[in-house]
Amino acid sequence: MAVIPIYIPTYISDQNYNPSRVLPRLLFYNGQVECEGYWLQNELSQQFEQSTFPYFDNYNVVSGSFPTTDSKSLLFFNEQPAYGEKPTESLYSTYWSNYLNLLYNPRTRLINASTIIPLADYFEMELNDIVEFRGNYYHLRAINEYNLKNGACNIQLLGPILGDVIDAILNRTSTTTTTAAPTTSTSTTTSTSTSTTTSTSTSTSTSTTTTSTSTSTTTTTTAGPYYYTGLICGGGIVGNFYSDTNEGDNPGIVYAFSATAGNTNQCFDNVSRTITPNNNPILALFDTCFECNNQ
């Protein structure tokens, strides 16, 4: 390797290339690199000659000693490096280009809507989630004024996400919706055996072939559990519970254990399915909150 001068990344503050002090500074550490000789002096005025220096840069080293086209970058606009090659990707192209292209596309719309999000689902949601709304996919930009009692809130959606970028987004963000349902597995086993016996004499030749086939079929059906969420009758506190049998999409009034209401059994209305697992079994079903509360 050729001996190189020491390189220290700097920032400029004006058109005259005066340096700028930036704190904190984020750089990749790429190990020790051979360089022109230089001297260090300690507090005892002892001097030590050095032939390597700690190589920090805006780009990391993937292979070899210096950046290449597939190196990562900490810059929004890549500059020609002191050593090696300029990376192809930047912070902008990796993390921001799809979003900003969507933001300023003439077809993009910013949707403000009111909705109800169950508390258990609210805790699981993140602002990089992709939301399906009326057959289109949108970025979830904000959840505002969330009501812990009944889940009412205002959301902000950005989109629709264009077809030429949705595949790339969904490949990085896996979005899965699961609804519990009975599963049936069927296994079929077939066995066939063949035996042949041949006897021969001067006057008689007999050939006998016997074939037997047996088939057995086993069907196994596995159900549940089925997860639900609802609001305490008259209280608005969210609770989650499950049933080993399918109670349908709207099972009515549910009587179940609630950890969110003093660890007691409670009556719930506005019950619907959820994908959030829990350990609270449904104890009974009723037609009205009055019947449930006066059982």
pLDDT tens digits, 122-176:
999 888 788 887 777 888 889 999 999 999 999 999 887 755 556 655 565 444 3
Minimal CA–CA distance to 277: which of 182, 151, 180? 180
Task: Name the helix (H) or strand (E) containing 21.
Answer: none
Supply the pLDDT for residue 69.
93
pLDDT tens readout for residues 192-223: 333 333 333 333 333 333 344 444 433 334 45
pLDDT tens readout for residues 221-237: 445 788 888 888 876 67
Alpha carbons within 13 A on the beta-carbon side of 35: 17
Supply the pLDDT for residue 254.
92
Compute how many other C-beta atoms are within 10 angstroms of the C-beta atom of residue 108: 16
Amino acid at 223: A
pLDDT tens readout for residues 35-77: 888 888 888 888 888 888 899 999 999 888 899 999 999 999 9
CB under 8 Å to 254, separation ≥6 — which residues?
228, 230, 241, 267, 268, 271, 282, 284, 285
Task: Kindly report whether the peptide bond that precedes residue 106 is cis, defined as omega within 30 degrees of 0.
Answer: no
